[in-house]
A = this chain, B = another copy of it.
Amino acid sequence: MSEAQVHEANVERVRQLLEAGDAAKLHQYLEAFHPSDIADVIESLDDEQRASVLAVLSDEVASATLAEMEEEEHPEELLVADPERVAELVRELSADDAADIIGDLPSAAQQEVLAQLPLTDAAELRDLLAYDEETAGGVMTTDVVSVAESASVNEAIEEIRRQAAEGEDFYSVFVVDRDGRLLGTVSLQDLVLSQPTRRINEVIEPVLTAVPVSMDQEEVARVMSRYNLVSIPVVDPAQRLIGRITFDDVMDIVEAETTEDILRFSGSSAEEYLAGGVGQAIKNRLPWLALALLTTSVAAVVIYLFRSVVEQAVILAAIMPVIAALGGNAGTQALAVTVRRLALDPDRHGTWRVVGKELAVGLVNGAVIGSLAAIIGYLIPEGSVYLGFVVMFAMWGNLIVAGFAGAFVPVLLEKLGADPAVASSVFFTALTDIFGFFFLLGLASWILLPQLG
């Protein structure tokens, strides 16, 4: 059985148990799964069924399942209707997961849930909810394990036992001074391997890097990936430790940012939710298509202005889309490579040198493809040496423009502080259409028509 079939079978079994109304059996069946797998099953059910499933799960499993679900898939009505249960569920979670779940609710419902929580928990969540979702503050959890620099290894282990009693995973133990300022870390590994009587300030390691609470999440992911960090401390402007971000958050960020980049690049809205419905997809993509209709209409105007050239040599109408398509393809290549370069390593590649490189690639590939096209232009019916030359130079020119623009536009956007991924293929198709038609028909009116008439 493939994984898709296993998934279908699990969903079917849950549906049967729901219909039979056998809560005990459903509980027993589902709790054997990992919360990620329960989340998958739930996302295939309708809202009412989701509510029934969450009702039979223990708080521990139900909360972990909610945390693993896509936020868009949360059964919002259920959550709004029962703030007591939501409060019980979020108490099981780390602060960042709790804030993600509450943050999705209408603000009246948020207040109702927060009112059910102990004062300190509610205050912590209010702090987290105030951060922009796409910054370090929005991603971090405030559940950090920290010890005083003056403690011994043994005292530190005792302290960690106490702090970690709530069961949250941790990978580093942070060392702070008495004002809560971050001084360094001790790894669990070092604690396990050290003699118990050594002092923490003997085994402390400097923090390679801490991120400010306002840093963009994409930048946080880049730092953690660059230095292979399993966890990174988040500090406020006074360098006080206020939270941490772990590798699993980074994986989620990378996934989300990559989806955003690919969708933008293809001229879809970056906000399109992959599992969303038809209506949402229509709404997200229609504006881009309308924009494309507008920009390619400019290309149509170019052709209209040259209509007498087309009338005198209709074969040009057949060649036009070939020039346009090749320009679009070459531009998309240059654009994709440049955008990806900038996404992976803006420091090293966000320079004008990249534009020179793509210009050189366009020059060479344009010459090769232009020559091939020239041979076709010579050999086809109604072809000639003159047509061959026209096709060659039009193709060459268009591929140079495509290579240049494909690198220039994203690099310029990066230099201006904008997201280079905004440069989508929609604009490039139009741009290379316009230049391609202009080159082809302009050259034809200059070189080819005098020979015909």
Hey, which bits of chain A sit against chain B, CB under 8 A? 2-4, 6-7, 34, 36, 40, 43-44, 157, 160-161, 164, 169-171, 187-189, 191-193, 208, 224-228, 230, 247-248, 250-252, 254-255, 258-259, 261-263, 265-268, 272, 274-275, 277-278, 281-282, 285-286, 288-290, 292-293, 296-297, 299-301, 303-304, 307, 310-311, 314-315, 317-322, 324-326, 328-330, 332-333, 335-337, 339-341, 344, 346-351, 357-358, 360-361, 364-365, 368-369, 372-373, 376, 381, 399, 425-426, 429-430, 433, 437
Considering residues A225, A259, A286, A322, which has the most beta carbons from chain B within 10 angstroms of its beta carbon? Answer: A322
Mind listing 22 A-B residue pairs with CB under 8 Å? A4-B351, A6-B347, A7-B347, A161-B192, A164-B193, A228-B251, A247-B248, A247-B251, A262-B265, A263-B337, A263-B340, A275-B348, A282-B364, A285-B330, A292-B329, A299-B321, A303-B321, A311-B314, A317-B320, A321-B433, A325-B430, A329-B426
The answer on a CB contact under 8 Å between B290 and A369 is: yes
User: What chain B residues lie within 8 Å of A261 (beta carbons)?
Assistant: 262
Interface of A is mostly: helix
Determine which residue in A317, A372, A430 has the highest number of CB atoms from chain B within 10 A of its CB, and name it: A317
CB–CB A262/B328 < 8 A: no
Say yes or no: B299 contacts A322, CB within 8 Å: yes
A333 near B266: Cβ-Cβ < 8 Å: yes
A251 touching B250, Cβ below 8 Å:
yes
Whether B228 and A376, one on each chain, are in contact in the complex, defined by CB atoms closer than 8 angstroms, is no
A368: which B residues are within 8 A, CB to CB?
286
> Taking CB as reference atom, which chain B residue is nearest A254?
B254
Contact check, B292 vs A36: say whether CB atoms are below 8 A apart: no
A164 CA to B187 CA, complexed, in Å = 13
Which residues on B sit within 8 Å (CB–CB) of A285? 330, 333, 361, 365
Q: Can you name the residue of chain B whose Cβ is closest to the Cβ of A258?
A: B258
Task: List chain B residues, Cβ under 8 A from A2.
Answer: 347
- Please give 18 more A-B residue pairs, beta carbons under 8 A apart, in addition to A164-B193, A169-B189, A170-B189: A4-B348, A191-B192, A230-B230, A230-B247, A263-B336, A266-B332, A266-B335, A268-B336, A275-B349, A278-B357, A278-B360, A285-B365, A296-B326, A310-B317, A311-B314, A321-B433, A324-B325, A329-B426
Q: Could you tell me the distance between the alpha carbons of A296 and B297 in the complex, rounded to whole angstroms?
A: 21
Known: A268-B333, A296-B321, A300-B318. A344 touches B255 (CB 8 A): yes
Chain A to chain B: the 5 pairs with minimum beta-carbon distance, closest first: A266-B336, A228-B248, A303-B318, A3-B347, A296-B325
Pick the contact of A326: B4, B289, B314, B360 (CB < 8 A): B289
Q: What chain B residues lie within 8 Å of A263 (beta carbons)?
A: 336-337, 340
Question: Which chain B residues border A192 with CB–CB below 8 Å?
Answer: 157, 160-161, 188, 191-192
With A360-B278, A369-B293 already in contact, the answer to whether A317 and B329 are too (CB < 8 A) is no
CA distance A107 to B388 in the complex (A): 49
* Contact (A161, B361) CB under 8 Å given A262-B336, A288-B333, A340-B263: no
- Report how far A330 CA is from B267 CA in the complex, Å: 8
Q: How far is the CB of A291 from chain B (nearest CB, A)?
A: 9
CB atoms of B4 and A225 under 8 A apart: no
**What residues of chain B lie closer than 8 Å to A301, measured between beta carbons?**
318
**Complex: A187 Cα to B247 Cα, angstroms:** 17
Given contact pairs A321-B299, A322-B293, A361 touches B278 in the complex (Cβ within 8 A): yes
CB nearest neighbor in B for A330: B289
Given A4-B347, A317-B307, does the pair A164, B188 have CB atoms closer than 8 Å?
Answer: no
Given the complex, which residues of B lie within 8 Å of A321, measured CB to CB?
296, 299-300, 303, 320-321, 324, 433, 437
Q: How far is the CA of A303 from the CA of B310 in the complex (A)?
A: 13
Q: Are B332 and A267 in contact (CB under 8 A)?
A: yes
Nearest to A162 among chain B residues (CB) is: B193
How many Å lie between the Cα of A223 and that of B278 in the bound state?
A: 29
The answer to whether A325 and B258 have CB atoms under 8 Å apart is: no
Inter-chain CA distance A425–B266, complex, in Å, is 9
Complex alpha-carbon distance, A106 and B290, angstroms: 54
